[in-house]
Amino acid sequence: MNLSDSFEPVPIVRPSPEHARRAILRQMAEALEDEAAGLSFRASSFAEEEFLLNRDIEDHQTEISRLQLRLEAVRAEREKLLAKIEMLRREAFEIRQDVASSEDETALASFECG
């Protein structure tokens, strides 16, 4: 008995082109799923960043509103002060007019007496 007689040849099974095509398509589908999962993770991180940015915008809007109210109050105070300044200047002018008139009257009276 020969050693080659005890072994039967194993037939070589070659995959059909259709089988190979399906295997490649499965691998492509898995790769696309992996890419989609990665992109999904990126999208969720963008959503979180968007949320944080919106919160920052709201905080800044609140701060802007507070500063606008403060600005309006400062302007109102300035307007009050300007009105008071104008009133004091008018009073000073009127007092000077009265003093000048009384000085003129005193000068005329002294000429008449003299």
pLDDT in tens, 2-44: 555 566 666 676 778 888 899 999 999 999 999 999 999 999 9
Q: What is residue 12's three-state secondary structure?
A: coil
State phi, psi for 24 to the nearest 5 degrees: -65, -40
Burial of 68 (0-12, 13-18, 19+ CB in 10 A): exposed
Please say if the pLDDT value at position 98 is more than 70: yes
**DSSP characters over 73-107:** HHHHHHHHHHHHHHHHHHHHHHHHHHHHHHHHHHH
Q: Where are the domains of the chain?
A: 16-106
CA distances from 2 to 6, 8, 11, 65 (A): 7, 12, 20, 100
Percent of the chain with pLDDT over 70: 84
Cα dihedral: 48, 50, 53, 59 (round 10): -90
Residues 54-80 have a mean pLDDT of 97
Q: What token pair was written down for 84?
A: 């008071």
pLDDT at 103 over 90: no
Q: Which residues does 23 contact at the CB level (< 8 Å), separation at least 6?
A: 15
Q: Which two tokens stand for residue 19?
A: 């089988």
